[in-house]
């Protein structure tokens, strides 16, 4: 949903000044927004509740907040018949949604003697669903994008969901991918990805956004030394992993490691879902198999955000130095995953496209002085 349309503005057609013509030096304009007098304001209601707590003389403390949010008449861009003379799309009220969730902050002092050990947990849960969808444009291909930016059109499913074309495996004789048309195996890729295939014909996996996410930190302190480590986690979601695109390979020489696992001879279809390389590539084949079931993957993972070592020096009383205290520190960040649900060796945060790679391990050291 766009969320930024102004009904008072789009109720009339507006023009945008593009400057002066290079031929006549006269100002010229283009349509910026086409009129939709039926557009209404979005309606949003939200209920929040929460508590703060502290027990065992402050050894355990934190807060818990919960919310329920409903929104209707949300703005969205809807295609229109270009023969109407008002362009290809228009702002309309397209959907009703509902979201609910909770946020938990939990702090604990586990030991407080010679070694002090503290833990802090930030945990969030959020689930949203489409309650109603007024847009009639439910072509499945519109929902098969790497970024998953298209709002789900199926009531009861996640607002940003992951969908895939049903998979019929690779044809044993040719290694070409197979889908379904009217319930029968087919290699008619243009039909499979065409206008007659609706989102209701696709397989729904779940949310493209994590349902559970947060971080867990632990700090150990001994005299002037301390070490802190923090983990990040994202759970309960799916992503569409990239794979070989033979069209891009043929035209741009841009490959993918899945090429090594492609079908090459009969029998390979029992061990791989990567199609045979053919030339020319049948129309619509890449759009079909890249958005088919085998390439939708669980995104759940846990990563180490950072580990920091610190030494704090405070001059003893009577010792005169130009500073009140000084901290020496060393930090490791981008240490990578310690667990992931997928078996493909993929970091879900860097799973889409051909050029995105995880950031390298970063080592930093320095000092901070308090004067």
Contact call for residues 221 and 252 (beta carbons, < 8 A): no
Q: What is the pLDDT of residues 195-232, one digit of tens each?
A: 899 988 999 999 999 999 999 999 999 999 999 999 99
> Half-sphere exposure (CA, 13 Å, Cβ side) for 225?
5
pLDDT given at position 236: 96
Q: What mean pLDDT is predicted for residues 124-141?
A: 86
pLDDT given at position 273: 96
Q: What mean pLDDT is predicted for residues 334-342?
A: 93
Q: Which residue has the higher pLDDT, 192 or 76?
A: 192
pLDDT band at 160 (very low <50, low <70, confident <90, very high): confident
pLDDT given at position 2: 45
Q: What percent of the chain has pLDDT over 70?
A: 86
Cα distance between residue 20 and residue 40, in whole Å: 35
Q: What is the pLDDT of residues 72-117, one digit of tens each?
A: 988 877 766 666 655 566 777 888 999 999 999 999 999 999 999 9
pLDDT given at position 86: 56
Which residues fall within 8 angstroms of residue 90, CB to CB, at 6 or more apart?
A: 34, 36, 77, 78, 80
Cα distance between residue 233 and residue 236, in whole Å: 10
pLDDT exceeds 80 at position 32: no
5-9, 91-95, 129-133, 253-257: the lowest-pLDDT one: 5-9
Cα distance between residue 57 and residue 188, in whole Å: 69
pLDDT exceeds 50 at position 1: no
Q: What mean pLDDT is predicted for residues 109-129?
A: 96
H or E segment and range at residue 249 = helix 246-252
pLDDT given at position 3: 46
SS3 294: helix
Which residues fall within 8 angstroms of residue 75, CB to CB, at 6 or more apart?
A: 1, 2, 3, 4, 5, 39, 42, 91, 92, 93, 94
pLDDT band at 28 (very low <50, low <70, confident <90, very high): confident
Query: pTM score > 0.75 for this model?
Result: yes
Contact call for residues 269 and 171 (beta carbons, < 8 A): yes
pLDDT exceeds 80 at position 146: no
Cα–Cα nearest to 129, from 70, 213, 203, 73: 70
pLDDT given at position 21: 81
pLDDT exceeds 70 at position 5: no
Q: Give the chain's mean pLDDT.
A: 87
pLDDT given at position 205: 94
Q: What is the pLDDT of residues 302-321, one digit of tens each?
A: 999 999 999 988 887 777 77
Cα–Cα nearest to 3, from 73, 89, 81, 99: 73
Q: Which residue has the higher pLDDT, 70 or 147?
A: 70
Q: What is the pLDDT of residues 280-301, one digit of tens each?
A: 999 999 999 999 999 999 999 9
Q: Which residue has the higher pLDDT, 34 or 305?
A: 305
pLDDT band at 31 (very low <50, low <70, confident <90, very high): low
Q: For residue 4, what is the DSSP state?
A: -
């Amino acid at each position: 949903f766009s969320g930024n349309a102004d009904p008072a503005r789009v109720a009339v057609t507006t023009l945008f000044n593009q400057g002066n013509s290079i031929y006549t030096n006269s100002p010229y304009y283009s349509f910026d927004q086409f009129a939709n007098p039926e557009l209404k304001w979005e309606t949003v209601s939200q209920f929040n509740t929460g508590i703060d707590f502290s027990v065992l003389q402050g050894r355990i403390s934190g807060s818990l907040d919960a919310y329920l949010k409903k929104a209707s008449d949300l703005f969205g861009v809807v295609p229109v018949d270009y023969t109407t003379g008002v362009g290809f799309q228009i702002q309309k009220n397209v959907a009703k949604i509902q979201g609910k969730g909770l946020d938990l902050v939990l702090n604990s002092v586990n030991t407080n003697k010679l070694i002090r050990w503290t833990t802090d947990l930030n945990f969030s849960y959020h689930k949203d669903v489409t309650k109603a969808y007024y847009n009639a444009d439910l072509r499945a291909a519109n929902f098969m994008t790497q970024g998953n930016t298209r709002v789900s059109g199926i009531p009861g499913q996640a607002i940003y969901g992951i969908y895939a074309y049903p998979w019929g495996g690779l044809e044993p004789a040719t290694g070409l991918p197979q889908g379904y048309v009217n319930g029968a195996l087919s290699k008619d890729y243009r039909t499979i990805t065409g206008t007659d295939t609706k989102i209701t014909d696709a397989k729904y996996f779940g949310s493209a956004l994590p349902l559970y996410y947060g971080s867990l930190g632990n700090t150990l302190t001994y005299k002037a030394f301390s070490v802190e480590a923090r983990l990040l986690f994202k759970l309960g979601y799916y992503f569409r992993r990239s794979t070989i695109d033979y069209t891009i390979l043929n035209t741009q020489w841009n490959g993918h490691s899945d090429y090594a696992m492609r079908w090459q001879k009969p029998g390979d279809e029992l061990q791989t879902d990567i199609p045979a390389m053919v030339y020319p590539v049948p129309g619509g084949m890449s759009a079909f198999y890249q958005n088919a079931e085998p390439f939708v993957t669980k995104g759940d993972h846990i990563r180490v955000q950072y580990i920091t070592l610190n030494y704090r020096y405070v001059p003893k009383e009577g010792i005169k130095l130009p500073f009140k205290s000084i901290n020496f520190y060393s930090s490791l960040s981008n240490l990578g995953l310690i667990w992931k649900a997928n078996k493909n060796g993929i970091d879900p945060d860097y799973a889409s496209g051909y050029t995105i790679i995880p950031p390298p391990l970063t080592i930093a050291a320095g000092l901070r002085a308090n004067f």
